[in-house]
Amino acid sequence: MTETRFDPAVADDRWQRAWTDAGTFTADSNSPKPKSYILEMFPYPSGRIHMGHVRNYTMGDVLARYQKMRGFEVLHPMGWDAFGMPAENAAMEKGVHPGGWTRQNIAQMKAQLQRIGFALDWTREFATCDPEYYGHEQALFADLYEAGLVYRKESTVNWDPVDMTVLANEQVIDGKGWRSGAEVEKRKLNQWFLKITDFADDLLEGLGSLEDWPEKVRLMQENWIGKSQGLEFSFDLSDGGKLAVYSTRPDTIFGASFCAIAADHPIAQSLAADPEVAAFIDQCKKGATTAAALETAEKLGYRTPITAKHPFTGADLPVFIANFVLMEYGTGAVMGVPGHDQRDFEFATKYELPILRVVASDPAKADEPFKGEAEAGDGVIVNSDFLNGMSVEDAKQAVITRAESGGWGEGRTVWRLRDWGVSRQRYWGTPIPFIHCDACGVVPVPKDQLPVTLPEDVSFDIPGNPLERHPTWKHVDCPKCGAAARRETDTLDTFVDSSWYFLRFASQPADRPFDPEEVAKWMPVQHYIGGIEHAILHLLYARFWTRALAHIGKISVAEPFAALFTQGMVTHETYSRIDATRGVPVFFGPEEVNRSSEGATLLADGGTVEVGRVIKMSKSKKNVVDPDNIIARHGADAVRWFMLSDSPPERDLPWSDAGIEGCARFVQRLWRLFGQASAGGAGADAEYDKALDRKLHQTVAAVAEDIEALSFNKAVARIYELVGAVEKAPLSSTRSDAIRKLAVLVSPMMPHLAEEARATYGLGTGLVAESAWPDVDPALLVDDEVTIAIQHMGKLRDTVTAPKGASKDALEALALASANLQRSVDGAAIRKIIVVPDRLVNIVT
């Protein structure tokens, strides 16, 4: 046979059409087969598919194709998380409509995904900006309102005083508005909230059932929900009033040396007649609202004339207004224990307040000075009257008991988790379906009037919410009394859109968000794959929506995702030069640079550029590789193979040209091997090659195991080994059989190559994508012989071959017969011999 090359430019398109024509990946909910729902986090349509998407969807694709070969009816859908800020930014910068921009991006990205040959059921595609989708979302939101899970309250936002608009945290840079450069202020707005805290206990409990979630994600969610037992109690104030505080560390109450209240605490407000106090309160309003900004900002306080009486010692503690205390948490006031809380320590140091030790590593160290920081750890209570000698836990209980019997406080379970603020003062999102009437108050839009659609005629030439300033959109009649009323102009957080999309993929009736019976057939998602950056918010919100919908009887599953996998990023080295005049680095893209093993030069002028760290691909660092170019050059299968090779899927994957070229070479190497399928083997028993057959069966079993564990890099390594072994094996029927099965084995990763090889070389009938995974003969999985390590004092001295399952005595004898071992032992008395069957013998002298 003349040697040919595999041509992905022809084959990729041919097989993508064949799968579409055959409806290979269209999920049938009425199939009698067991169901498997494979889902990757749907993309935001930013414009182009990037390598991170390719990696994410390749992993899901391998699973989907593999599961299909294992006899499952697979649902593997794709859609678009299409609302969000980038569309509005594009509208501002380019003068386009967010909807048009988004639709164009979707069309482009869909075509890109199709060129990679993903086994997706495109019949279920939708975008969250489809009025049909967000209309159903509005109906669900109204249902949750009816169930008492939606309410309104004041909360703080970032306010740009120049642009007169709310800023997202991302739009606040170093405490300033990204466009205006003005110092950001905190401002209060009346906003919509979802009662996720009603489900705090359920969401925490539920983590225990998520055995196939990464331990780290469960831990992060547990800490985020943050259940803790503490004490709420009141101080008697010098002005005759009371100050309620909450503490998770009542055990340290004897260490309290001050109290601190939030700037918008009623007591602070009551003192605001004093211009100094008013000025301080104003100062506290400066800055952004993020936890990181609040926690790292310099601790500032204003000492009020009021003092608080310590409930045990009777000491008068100064009361401060402080910028690090938030009205939203607990009671908006805290007791300051500088010795055992880092924030309090910094505050006390600045304002020269006593720093008392009430916890020590042991009672003898009750007077040990602090080493420049608070000690938040465990220990024994000291300097604390009746608590002395107790553990931290016992002391907490003792204080709570004493407060409750004394009637001045009580134990309370509190959660770190806060209710979910879903209001956004933006255009490109789901309109919140409510109407404000002066007479009737807040009235939901009747369901037969849904969807509340976004107006098309909006402008983005000035900052702020276009819905707010639209001439007619918000002016409506009250559905209840018919009087003139105002439509809500806030839209929903886009995390709401992504909190139930997996249900809509499973079932898409026109008149309802989903059909519970159809949903029950597919849910929960068997494998959910996406980035670790979603470990908390998206995954917690989706879990909450699922539980909330179950709570109001819409569905019967409690947890949406049976198994979760968080994949790493695709990274690339950076190329830069320092701009001589401005002193800042100027970055260059990989296509502008000639990279050799010694370094890199700029194609434009031949001068050297600095090769920087390997970091996440980003436009600003220009270290982006476009999947389209790579697919055009090497074909989809080489890219897919690269995405799965080398790096474990949960870790970052550094992109390299050498790597993708190696993958493209391997595709051709396999193609050549597939061409040898009919060489030599006539099927006679004499041609049976047991060693090769064993390798084949072991590899099939191991690759299946690796895919199921999503250890794609190990599956890839196994396949390399098998390919090497088949290439080296003499011609035989076993070898031909191995080649045919190899095409099936690699097909989840390299589906186009597998189909083309089967069709060209007659390796089987029908589509590989619709074939069964090869069977494994368990008898061939076990080796007859094993290599035994011979150690002296834990150091390797020799290896010997022994029959599998050899007795301890036999292995001991083999070890002692080793000349290398004897030389090392050098006649010393043997104290002990450790034998690990089929593994090693360790001689201890």
Span 683-742, contacts to RNA by CB under 7 A = 711, 713-714, 716-717, 720-721, 724, 727-728
Residues 530-589, interacting with RNA (CB under 7 A): 532-538
Local structure of 366: helix, strand or coil: coil
x/- string (CB under 7 A) for RNA, residues 622-651? -----------------------xxxx--x
Q: Cβ closer to RNA: 366 or 536?
A: 536
Q: Cβ closer to RNA: 254 or 712?
A: 712
Q: Cβ closer to RNA: 222 or 404?
A: 222
Q: Cβ closer to RNA: 582 or 795?
A: 795
Cα distances (Å, whole numbers) of residue 745 to 15, 66, 177, 425, 724: 17, 9, 54, 52, 15
Residues 457-486, interacting with RNA (CB under 7 A): none
Query: Under the criterion CB under 7 A, does residue 620 sit at the interface with RNA?
Result: no
Window of 82-90, 602-610, 697-705, 749-757 that interacts with RNA by CB under 7 A: 82-90
Local structure of 673: helix, strand or coil: helix
Q: Cβ closer to RNA: 383 or 656?
A: 656
In this structure, what token pair is assigned to residue 179?
């466009």
In this structure, what token pair is assigned to residue 220?
């992060």
CB of 178 to RNA, least distance (A): 11
Q: Which of 36, 37, 39 is nearest to 60 (CA)?
A: 39
Binder among 21, 30, 208, 292 for RNA (CB under 7 A): 292
Q: Cβ closer to RNA: 290 or 401?
A: 290
CB of 160 to RNA, least distance (A): 11
Query: Under the criterion CB under 7 A, does residue 493 sit at the interface with RNA?
Result: yes
Residues 764-823, interacting with RNA (CB under 7 A): 787, 789, 791, 793-797, 799, 820, 823
Number of residues that bind RNA (CB under 7 A): 97
Residues 205-244, interacting with RNA (CB under 7 A): 215-216, 219-220, 223-224
Residues 408-447, interacting with RNA (CB under 7 A): 416-418, 420-421, 423-425
Q: Max Cα separation, the chain?
A: 105
CB of 632 to RNA, least distance (A): 19
* Other Cβ atoms within 10 Å of 217 Cβ, number: 20
Rounded Cα gap, residues 185 and 382, in angstroms: 43
Q: 30 CB contacts (<8 Å, ≥6 apart)?
A: none
Q: Which of 771, 93, 103 is nearest to 460 (CA)?
A: 93
Window of 19-27, 62-70, 83-91, 246-254 that interacts with RNA by CB under 7 A: 83-91
CB 587 within 8 A of CB 622: yes
Q: 478 CB contacts (<8 Å, ≥6 apart)?
A: 435, 437, 439, 440, 443, 484, 485
CB of 634 to RNA, least distance (A): 13
CB of 779 to RNA, least distance (A): 22
Query: Under the criterion CB under 7 A, does residue 175 sit at the interface with RNA?
Result: no
* Other Cβ atoms within 10 Å of 487 Cβ, number: 19
Residues 15-74, interacting with RNA (CB under 7 A): 44
ω before 524 within 30° of 0 (cis)?
Answer: yes
Is residue 460 packed enough to be buried (19+ CB in 10 Å), middle (13-18) or exposed (0-12)?
buried
Q: 143 CB contacts (<8 Å, ≥6 apart)?
A: 552, 554
Residues 322-361, interacting with RNA (CB under 7 A): 342-343
CB 67 within 8 A of CB 119: no
Strands (E) in 679-794, as ranges, are 785-792
Binder among 9, 364, 520, 834 for RNA (CB under 7 A): 834
Binder among 26, 108, 169, 760 for RNA (CB under 7 A): 169
Residues 294-313, interacting with RNA (CB under 7 A): 295-296
CB of 520 to RNA, least distance (A): 28
Q: 793 CB contacts (<8 Å, ≥6 apart)?
A: 842, 843, 844, 845
Q: Cβ closer to RNA: 693 or 798?
A: 798
Q: Cβ closer to RNA: 220 or 780?
A: 220
CB of 301 to RNA, least distance (A): 17
Rounded Cα gap, residues 6 and 838, in angstroms: 44
Rounded Cα gap, residues 481 and 494, in angstroms: 32
Q: Cβ closer to RNA: 536 or 563?
A: 536
CB of 292 to RNA, least distance (A): 4
Query: Under the criterion CB under 7 A, does residue 168 sit at the interface with RNA?
Result: yes
Q: Give Rg (Cα) of the chain.
A: 33
CB of 772 to RNA, least distance (A): 26
Q: Which of 766, 714, 773 is nearest to 747 (CA)?
A: 773
Distance of CA 807 to the CA centre of its chain: 49
Number of H helices, E strands in the chain: 26, 35
CB of 293 to RNA, least distance (A): 8
Binder among 31, 104, 290, 807 for RNA (CB under 7 A): 290
Local structure of 304: helix, strand or coil: strand
Query: Under the criterion CB under 7 A, does residue 157 sit at the interface with RNA?
Result: yes
